[in-house]
Chain A
Amino acid sequence: MDMLGPTLVLYLLIGAGIAVALYLTPGQGRLVNIALAVPFWPLYLPILLAQPRASDLSSAASLPDDVMTAAIRQVDRELSALSFLEHAHAIRERLTWLRGSWLAQADRVRAMDRLLALPDYDGELTEPARGDGCLEIADVARDPNAARRANIERLRQVRHETFDDLMAKLARVRELVSRIYVAEFSGASPTSVQVMFELLTACGDTKRVEGEADAGIQTRLP
């Protein structure tokens, strides 16, 4: 008749399973959390299940610790701090997409870095190519490795351009976030704040943002 004992054992067994899963989850393996997860696992289960979706940068412990990650985290924090504004909720998914695109771009830069760090690609074996890296047919004929060196040099340039582009985008977003704060607290019309949010969401399209932001926003501020 007394089912309480066996039920408690089952309950604690599930709790132990959840605790182990938390232990294995990056960023959640704190001793207090693991200990509390055993008796209170129904409260920790949603945390565990939400981990893949809440792929927020603050919980992404697997990201490499470099200047790009630091810059993306910084921008992410500033974007998260906007969440109390009315229009922030409407563009939430778009901002998540933006974070994803920055992370992907940073990954591309890292992939190129790894390639350029290989012994065959490093700076000692590749002499700087002339000018914009294009070669004349005569150059190739004179040195069979010239084309390869030129390609490596071009790869290096692409890497720098991709890196600079990412950092420029992030700087642009930070600037827009600060403008949104100024507009919000200086009593600008809700329309101007909304327009700035729209520009923020269009940050993947850098050229459009730069043009519109400079032309349109200043006139709307009080």
Chain B
Amino acid sequence: MKATNVLQDGAAGANIPDVLPVTENLGMLDVVEATLKNPRRLDAVARDEARQIELLPRFLGIALFSYSVFGLAMLLIVNAVPTSAYPDAPLPMPPARWSDGTGLGLLLAYNLGLIGATGICLPTFYFFSLLAGVRLSMLQIVGHVLRGKAATALVLMGILPIYVAVVLGLAVFDAPAAMLSGWLYFGLALPFVAGLEGVHTIYRGVAVMADTLPPERRCRRECFLRRLTLSWAACYTVVSPVLIYRLWQLLST
């Protein structure tokens, strides 16, 4: 069975099962399509550890590709705007130039930092889930979190062209340095803005898993789970900028 045949939008036909097909070669684009068009298909395989093993590298690939494109776009912007517009508070922006190779630092810092912070926060999320009473294995936690990363990455890909167009427009028309600086701050934080979709995806995925709870306790626990997901997102939002900045500094010197 071809993956593309089954990964149609669920709305197109009510009789199409909301399930990701088991195929020998489930491509990256199939996963992208399922993430965008009908995430319920991915919810359905969240319990299947064998499918998770198959999907995890694809989620990771989507995230890495997207963050690489984001890094390149930011590198282009940072080199296009005047140095007076570079953010310098609360910490000065590390160098990121094409000419001396420090630009690679920005590219790698975002890729390694955003994904690496996930690894750091994974045990937290695992214990949060145990605390909420949801039966999740570590593999399922990684699956949910990487799926959140992939969703974030896809939203980032959607926002990025608009952001690049706006900032390059401002740079071409010699906008004031303060305004450009503000836009640079926003740009560097763009993965976290897109990350809201990732948090939503993680919450939805984990909430689906909450049906392992007894019905009388499910409602109360889901509420608790929502708070725990938000706490985890807050933890990640604190860890990842520190990691990105430190890596950027290290790789740019």
Contact = CB atoms under 8 A, between A and B. Distances in A.
A54 interface: yes
A16 to B, nearest CB: 16
Interface in B8-40: 14-15, 17-19, 21-22, 40
Contact of B19 (A4, A39, A46, A83): A83
A3 to B, nearest CB: 11
B2 to A, nearest CB: 14
Nearest to B138: A46
- Binding site secondary structure of chain A: helix
A81 B56 contact: no
Interface of B: 14-15, 17-19, 21-22, 40-41, 44-45, 47-54, 56-57, 60-61, 64, 112, 115-116, 118-120, 122, 137-139, 141-142, 146, 211-212, 246, 250
B92 to A, nearest CB: 19
Interface of A: 4, 28, 30, 32-33, 36, 39-43, 46-47, 49-51, 53-54, 56, 58-59, 77, 80-81, 83-84, 89, 92, 181, 185
B248 to A, nearest CB: 12
18 contacts: A32-B61, A36-B64, A39-B112, A39-B115, A40-B115, A40-B116, A43-B119, A46-B139, A46-B141, A50-B53, A50-B138, A56-B48, A59-B53, A80-B22, A83-B47, A83-B48, A84-B17, A84-B44
Nearest to B123: A42
- Binding site secondary structure of chain B: helix
A43 B51 contact: no
Contacts of B246: 4
Contacts of B122: 42-43
Given A36-B64, A42-B119, 8 more contacts: A43-B115, A43-B142, A46-B142, A58-B50, A80-B22, A81-B17, A83-B45, A83-B48
A30 B58 CA distance: 12
A2 B115 CA distance: 23
